[in-house]
A = this chain, B = another copy of it.
């Protein structure tokens, strides 16, 4: 039975589904919209149990998942959504031990999910040219405890050398992905997948045409759309609150053209 320990992050969810992530640290008191919780009272509580505030309001005490963290993260950039990350992971069959390269770390959302799958012996090498984004991402990596599987390189990948034929999968989440197609071709093992995530059809067309020129085949572009359902005893209907669009996933496989 897992219990809350000093230093743990915990997820508190109220009965309306609102969620808070807290680090259990010291003897303080934690203030919520439903009253206060003594942090020391949370110690040794079992994950999955119910705690009450000084106002007798109920919170569910949960172990935060990566996704819970992600939703609370510092986000200087638009993030890739779980639906898109999941699709890419399954498409390339990502697995423990794989070595992957990413360009465009952003807030590190995709990086974190990739690291979570390739750990403990795999690795994610990720490039970010904007220093302040890299800082935020670094904090995020540490918070979820995945920093040791991630190699964050601050700089413009366009001007750097990559290890040739070293990576099991490659991911682009940048404004001008077509410029990096060749670099990713070099980095990938033959037969492996390059993914590019872009909202704009103009960018995608340029990227797809560059992929064709540079030795990629089996090029596909697609969109993944999510809609929730309201399922109650007397009411069943789709939820009208929907994110209408996040971006397109383009993927392709490297072929050895030399």
Contact = CB atoms under 8 A, between A and B. Distances in A.
Given A113-B90, A243-B240, A190 B85 contact: no
Interface residues of A, number: 85
Q: Interface centre among A120, A165, A229, by most B CB within 10 Å?
A: A229
A83 B62 CA distance: 26
Interface stretch (A29-37, A130-138, A150-158, A249-257): A249-257
Interface string A216-242: 011111111111110101111111111
B256 A227 contact: no
Contact of A221 (B47, B61, B229): B229
B217 A60 contact: yes
Contacts of A191: 2, 47-48, 61-63
Contacts of A120: 96-97
A85 B234 CA distance: 27
A93 interface: yes
Interface string A57-79: 00011110111000000000000
Contact of A96 (B1, B117, B190, B244): B117
Interface string A188-222: 01111100000111101100110000000111111
A74 to B, nearest CB: 19
A125 interface: no
A190 B88 contact: no
A200 B47 CA distance: 33
B117 A92 contact: no
B227 A238 contact: no
Contacts of A91: 65, 67, 82, 86
Interface in A98-134: 113, 116-120
A20 to B, nearest CB: 13
A85 B96 contact: no
Contacts of A227: 222-223, 225, 244-245
10 contacts: A2-B191, A17-B218, A47-B189, A93-B116, A96-B117, A117-B117, A200-B235, A222-B227, A222-B229, A241-B244
Given A47-B190, A60-B218, 7 more contacts: A2-B190, A48-B254, A63-B191, A202-B236, A220-B228, A229-B248, A242-B244
